[in-house]
Structure 1
Amino acid sequence: MNHPSAFPVGNGVVDTRPRTAVQLQLNGMGDLVWHAQYFRCVAEQSQGGQVSLIVAPTTMARELVGHEPWVKEVIDFDRRPRRSERRKGRHSGLLGPLRFGAELAPRRFDRMVLFSDHPGRAIIACWRAGIRTILGFGDTWLQRQLLTKSPWISRYRGPAVAGYKDATAFSIAQGFCSAPIVPRISVRPDALERMRERLAPMQQPLHALAIGASESYKQWGESNFVELANRLASRGHGVLLVGGPAESQLAKDIQARVEPALRGLVAAMTDCTVAESVAALSLVRSCIGNDTGAVQFAAGVGTDAVVVLGPRPPLEHDPEHVHLLQAPRLADISAAEVEARVLAVLDQREMTRRNP
């Protein structure tokens, strides 16, 4: 048992794989979905087949992946709380990395795997925690001086969203996997059971409208969602307005503007946990809406996600399930255009089902 983290697993077998922490710099729920499969690959090469996952609380990691067998624990990196919280994160400021490193030290990690393009603060925390193997992108000269020598990558600088691209290149370079992996997450069984019961009365086919948006420039708008809900409901389809507590009033406003004869086909769901939202999105035929976490949840569980993206960089991580609507301005995308894309996706799925 000379390895610093050698761990007996029975029958004289010793697990000498490194005790590993993985840190994600990006702080969105969708960001975590994009990276989860690569974290699983790291876990397969780590002690016990697990990793400790270091993420911002805003990723909602316990709800999204806390039940996964490869997750040993979720550790909050509390640097940038939401503005609405009106507080300073305990890991903010010049001394924040040292405080965080002191919290990590008792866990005696053998290595840290950094999915980050600005790893400076994390490197400081690692040194305070006594972690001497620190793997990272190595995109700059300075990073290569501070990180453990290993295969480096050059960050993606193309037209698409970079997070998934960088995670893929890094994971392949480090030997965690041999090819790109399409993002997938699993559904919590208890949440799935609750959502099956809740959605059972809804009209089929059922579509989820992801009405939330983390930033105002991503918001397609109430009037557009009202028109889309009317269009789908007029076809006899069910419509589920999906969001968090912050979207409860928006959901009520949309429902109130739906044509009276169609309101029975339009329901709101803004009171669920993130795990329940994931489960609900696994039960609908499509998820349509803003570029937000919900559409990434949907694609992550194999549901078609139609994203009203506008002029923003394209998402290229799952061409089979992520369908983009782009235009010079978000306002240029009409409800009629979105409806047409949704119906085309449904037709394509039906054709595939009949002719596998």
Structure 2
Amino acid sequence: MTAQHPGPVLVYAPDRGIGDLMWHLPTFRAIAATTPEGQVVLVARPSSRAAEVLAVEPTIASVIYARHFTGSLKGVKEVLDFWRICREVKPRAVWILEKIGRPAQAAWLAGVPERRGFGLGHKSQEQWLQGPFLPKAMRPDHRLTKLAAFEALHGLKVDSREPGLLLDPKAVAAVKARFDDRPGPWLVLGVGASEPARTWPAERFAAASQALADLFPTVFWLGGPGDVARIKPTLDAQPMAGRDVLTCDLPLDQAAALIALSAGFLGNDSGPLNVAASVGRPAIGLMGTSPVPAYSRWFSRLDGGEGRIADISVDQAVSAVRTRFTQEEWANRDIRAA
């Protein structure tokens, strides 16, 4: 930090999902490690729920939400919004983990001395930033590939792509207080998703739960409040009363704690799936459109084909869980005693 530019380092991650946030965690930490404070200020979309997910992450000093605009003046509004953020925070540097030009222009207009970004041959961004930039040929690559290349390009040290999400001890205690009388090992079913093409049918989750009754005495159905009406009739029809538990009311920090305290996770391609891998729980993802790469050693995929998550059968899902349960000895870990 210099006397001329005493402000913080700002990192802008405009992706909208919780899963996207998890992929970026190693990059956030690597940028923070280059600063004397060991911290950055994160600018993210409200839908990422970054302030909740990263509440106890020591490398994130604070989270600021950049609004998502629509309509004909979207570009102008986004420039003005990020310009406002930069003027209020007064950062000495901005790292833009995307190719878009609007925040780069806003940072330049706000007089931020150091401005970094992907580039990827987009002159609308590169004209406002200092290089080096990712090459245009990398535009089709997955975000995880781009992040790794960007880190190497800027000398950022990343030892592992594992997110290693930290849990709030208060959230862990709350989950234990509520559910610790439930017999284990526990299995979490991630039944929520952002769109139908990423949603495995509720009746298949029910069938998978029944087929795994010999392994898991308790199965939690984890989604959001908006999933309850779709899921509850199927769950209520389950033959073993009380074994399947609806947990769509949990706040995000407690949902992460529940996953971490469970033996494993089976679920849709959604935020909780990425959270499961991020907290080091064996996670089997049911993939539909744009399947996520198996970026974590905790994460394995069942791919029903592009846009065809319904092609994944109950037998395939059950077999995947049984195989990993046996190979990784999920039942031998007394997770809740940790």
TM-score normalised by length of structure 2: 0.89
CA distance in 2, matches of 1:39, 1:340: 36
| Contact 1:229 1:258 (8 Å CA) reproduced | no
Structure 1 Cα separation of the partners of residues 36 and 89 of structure 2: 13
After the TM superposition, which residues 131-142 of structure 1 pair with which residues of structure 2 at under 5 Å, given as runs?
Answer: 131-140=112-121, 142=123
Report deviation, 1:344.
Answer: 0.6
Residue 25 of structure 1, CA deviation: 2.0
List aligned pairs for 1:319-334, cutoff 5 A. Answer: 320-328=297-305, 329-334=308-313
Instruction: Say if 2:286 and 2:312, in contact at 8 Å, map to a contact too.
Output: yes
Amino acid at match of 1:39: F
Secondary structure at 2:127 match in 1:
helix
Find the residue that maps to 2:150 and give its secondary structure.
Answer: helix
Instruction: Give 1:253 deviation, angstroms.
Output: 1.8
Amino-acid identity (%): 26
Which residues of 2 match residues 77-96 of structure 1 at below 5 A?
77-80=66-69, 92-96=74-78
Partner of 2:140: 157
Partner of 1:148: 130
1:236/1:116 CA distance change after superposition, 3 Å: closer
Mapped partners of 1:293, 1:70: distance in 2: 21
8 Å contact from structure 1 (residues 289, 307) kept in 2: yes
CA shift for structure 1 position 127: 2.1
1:97-125: per-residue Cα shift (whole Å, max 9, x none)?
1233123213211110011022x111122
> Is the alpha carbon distance of 1:227 and 1:306 closer, same or farther for their aligned partners in structure 2, counting shifts above 3 Å?
same
Distance of 1:352 and 1:275 partners within structure 2: 24
Distance 1:255 1:47 in 2: 51
Q: Please tell me whether residue 21 in structure 1 is matched to residue 19 in structure 2.
A: no
Deviations along 1:29-61, whole A, 9 cap, x unmatched? 000011012101111112411111000000000
Amino acid at match of 1:167: L
- Residue 60 (structure 1) aligned to one of 46, 49, 62: 49
Secondary structure in structure 2 of the residue aligned to 1:48: coil
What SS does the corresponding residue of 1:112 show, helix, strand or coil?
Answer: strand
How many residue pairs were aligned?
328
Partner of 1:183: 163
Q: CA deviation at 1:28?
A: 0.4
From 308, 312, 323, give the equivalent of 1:344: 323
User: TM-score with structure 1 length normalisation?
Assistant: 0.85
CA contact (8 A) 1:225 1:254 kept: no
Q: Does structure 1 conserve the Cα–Cα contact (< 8 Å) formed by 2:39 and 2:58?
A: yes
Decide which of 183, 186, 193 is 1:213's aligned counterpart.
Answer: 193
- Structure 1 distance, partners of 2:270, 2:107, is 32
Give the Cα–Cα distance (whole angstroms) in 1 for the partners of residues 45 and 58 of structure 2: 20
Which residue identity does 2:85 align to in structure 1? Answer: E
Question: Is residue 127 of structure 1 aligned with residue 108 of structure 2?
Answer: yes
Distance 1:293 1:28 in 2: 7
What is the CA distance between 1:229 and its match in structure 2? 1.9
Q: What is the CA deviation profile of residues 246-298 of structure 1, one whole-angstrom value per residue up to 9, with x for unaligned ones? A: 11223312212212xx1221101011111111111001111111100001001
Give the distance between the partners of 2:2 and 2:15, measured in 1 at CA.
Answer: 36
